[in-house]
Every structure is written in C-alpha cells, then in structure tokens.
Structure 1
Amino acid sequence: MRFFKSFKYAFRGIVYCINNERNMRIHTVAALYVFVFSLFFKMSRTSYAAVFLAVAMVMAAELFNTVAEELCDMTAASFHPVVRIVKDMAAGAVLVCAVFAAAVGICVFWQPAAFLKILQFFAAKPLMLLLLAVSVAVSIVFIISGPIGIRDHIRRNREE
C-alpha cells in the first residue's frame, strides 16, 4: 500500500508544479506538441528514446527548480544573496536542460521532407488547421492562466 501512496504523492507534486509554475506549463504544452507532430517524422526507437529523455530531463529540472524556489521562499523571510544565487542556479539548470533538449530536437527532427508533409497535411485538411489553431489558443490560455486560474474564472462566471 505504501508503494502506491508514493505514486499518489509524486503525481500530487507534479500537479502542484503544473498548477503553480508557468514554465512547467510551457514545457508540458511543448512536449505535447512534440509528441503529436513526431508522428509526421521518420523516427527510430532510439530517436524516440532521445526525445523522451530530453523531455523528462527538462521537466525534472523544472520540478527541482520549483523545489529550490519553494524551500528558499520558506526559509528566507526577506532578500538574501545566497537565496538569489540558489534560485539562479536552479533556473540555470533548467536552461541548460532546455537548450540541450532543443539540440536533441534539432538533431532528431531536422527532416525537411517531414516539414513539407506537415504543410501538405494542413493544406489538404483546413479543418485540421482550424483544430490546430484552436489547440494553440487553448494552450496559450492554459500557459498564462493555468488550470487553477481557468477553474476560478469558470466558477466566477457561473456565480454571476
């Protein structure tokens, strides 16, 4: 039973990070689009493994960055130079992971024929282009407001 509770706590931590950290929402949305559009590319298992590892690395770094920020905020009542350094280093770790994930993306997804295939797909199916536009709009709202902000906005509108 303890084993399953540990998964519950882990998921609760991930959800907390998504709810409270805009950058984690950006990473989540980016990962979703990467995996959806990966269907247009010729990719080996190794390529998929590299993409999965890159995405996991960035998200794990963002989780650790959030841990560092929360602990720093909890322990320091006011500005402290060491807290700033810790927060900057944690953010730097995320940046390093994100840059290398982008490099993995360039290595794996640099397939001009696949980009042409994507353009042809959307040109032949305007409804899918509309669906993509709607999903981008929803993603932007999700990134800016977060699930909690969206939920609160919906609740306020129902009460009016």
Structure 2
Amino acid sequence: MRFFKSFKYAFRGIIYCINNERNMRIHTVAALYVFVFSFFFEMSRTSYAAVLIAIAMVITAELFNTVAEELCDMAAASFHPVVRIIKDMAAGAVLISAVFAAAVGVCVFWQPASFAGILRYFASSPLMLLPLAAVTAVCIVYIVMGPIGIRDYIRKKREK
C-alpha cells in the first residue's frame, strides 16, 4: 500500500508544479505539440526515445527548479543574495535542458519533406485548422490562467 501512496505523492507534486508554475505549463503544452506533430515525421524508436528523454529532462529540471524556489522562499523571508544565486542556478538548469531539448528536436525533426507534408495536409483539409486553432486557444488559456485560474473563473461564472 505504501508503494501506491508514493505514486499519489509524486503525482501531487507534479500537479502542484503545473498549477503554480507557468513555465511548467509551457513545457507541457510544448510536449503535447511535439507528440501530436511527431506523427507527421518518419521517426525510429530511437528518435522517439531521444525526444521523450529530452521532454522528461526539461520537465524534471522544471520540477527541481520549483523545489529550489519553494525551499528558498521557505528558508528566507526576505531578500538574501545566496537565495538569488540558488534560484538563478536552478533556472539556469532549466534553460540548459530546454536548449538541449530544442537541439534534439532540430536533429530529429529536421525533415523538410515532412514539413511540406504538414502544409499539404492542412491545405487539403482546411477544416482541420479549426480544431488546431481551438486546441491552441485552449492551450493559451491553460498556460496563462493555469488549471486553478480556469477553475476559479468557471466557479465565478456559475455564481452569477
């Protein structure tokens, strides 16, 4: 039973980060788009593994960045130069992982014929742009407001 509780706690931490960190929401949306559009590309299992590792690396770095920020905020009630350095280093780790994930993306997805195929797909089925636009709009709201902000907005609308 303790084993399953550990999963519960881990998911609770991930959800906390999604709810409270806009950059984590940006990373999750980017991962969604990479996954969905990956089907337009010729990719081996190794390529998928590289992309998944890169995504996991960025999300893990963002989780550790949030841990560092929360611990620093808890330890220092006011500005402290060491806290600034710790937070900057944690943010730097996220930046490095994101840059290298983008480099992996360029290596894996640099397939001009596939990009042309995506353009042909949407040109031949322009109605497919509507769901893409709708999902993009939902993703923007998700990034800007977050799940808690969306929930509170819906509750406020219901109370009126």
- For this structure pair, what is the TM-score category when the shorter chain's length is used for normalisation? over 0.9
User: Which position in structure 2 is the counterpart of 1:41?
Assistant: 41
Q: Which amino acid aligns with 1:34?
A: V
Residue 148 of structure 1 and its aligned partner are, at CA, apart by 0.3
Q: Which amino acid aligns with 1:22?
A: R
In structure 1, C-alpha distance between the alignment counterparts of 2:49 and 2:91, rounded to whole Å: 25
In structure 1, C-alpha distance between the alignment counterparts of 2:125 and 2:22, rounded to whole Å: 32
In structure 2, C-alpha distance between the alignment counterparts of 1:120 and 1:148, rounded to whole Å: 38
User: Which position in structure 2 is the counterpart of 1:143?
Assistant: 143
Q: Which amino acid aligns with 1:68?
A: A
Runs of 4+ deviating beyond 6 Å = none
In structure 2, C-alpha distance between the alignment counterparts of 1:126 and 1:154, rounded to whole Å: 31
Residue 124 of structure 1 and its aligned partner are, at CA, apart by 1.1
Q: Which amino acid aligns with 1:105?
A: G
In structure 2, C-alpha distance between the alignment counterparts of 1:132 and 1:125, rounded to whole Å: 12
Q: Which amino acid aligns with 1:80?
A: H
Residue 45 of structure 1 and its aligned partner are, at CA, apart by 0.5
In structure 2, C-alpha distance between the alignment counterparts of 1:54 and 1:4, rounded to whole Å: 27
Residue 159 of structure 1 and its aligned partner are, at CA, apart by 0.3
Query: CA offsets per residue over residues 102-155 of structure 1, 9 Å max, x none?
Result: 000000000000001101111111121111011111100100000000000000
**In structure 2, the residue corresponding to 1:36 is in which secondary structure?**
helix
User: Which position in structure 1 is the counterpart of 2:154?
Assistant: 154
Q: What residue ranges of structure 2 are gaps of 5+ in the alignment?
A: none
TM-score by length of 1: 0.99
Q: What residue ranges of structure 1 are gaps of 5+ in the alignment?
A: none
The RMSD of aligned alpha carbons is 0.4
In structure 2, C-alpha distance between the alignment counterparts of 1:74 and 1:128, rounded to whole Å: 48
The percentage of counterpart residues that share the same residue type is: 80
In structure 2, C-alpha distance between the alignment counterparts of 1:119 and 1:137, rounded to whole Å: 20
Matched, 1:61 2:68: no
Matched, 1:114 2:114: yes
Query: CA offsets per residue over residues 2-42 of structure 1, 9 Å max, x none?
Result: 10000000000000000000000000000000000000000
Residue 71 of structure 1 and its aligned partner are, at CA, apart by 0.3
Residue 81 of structure 1 and its aligned partner are, at CA, apart by 0.1
User: Which position in structure 2 is the counterpart of 1:73?
Assistant: 73
Higher mean C-alpha displacement, 125-134 vs 48-57: 125-134
TM-score by length of 2: 0.99
In structure 2, C-alpha distance between the alignment counterparts of 1:96 and 1:84, rounded to whole Å: 18
User: Which position in structure 2 is the counterpart of 1:9?
Assistant: 9
In structure 1, C-alpha distance between the alignment counterparts of 2:38 and 2:59, rounded to whole Å: 19
**In structure 1, the residue corresponding to 2:43 is in which secondary structure?**
coil
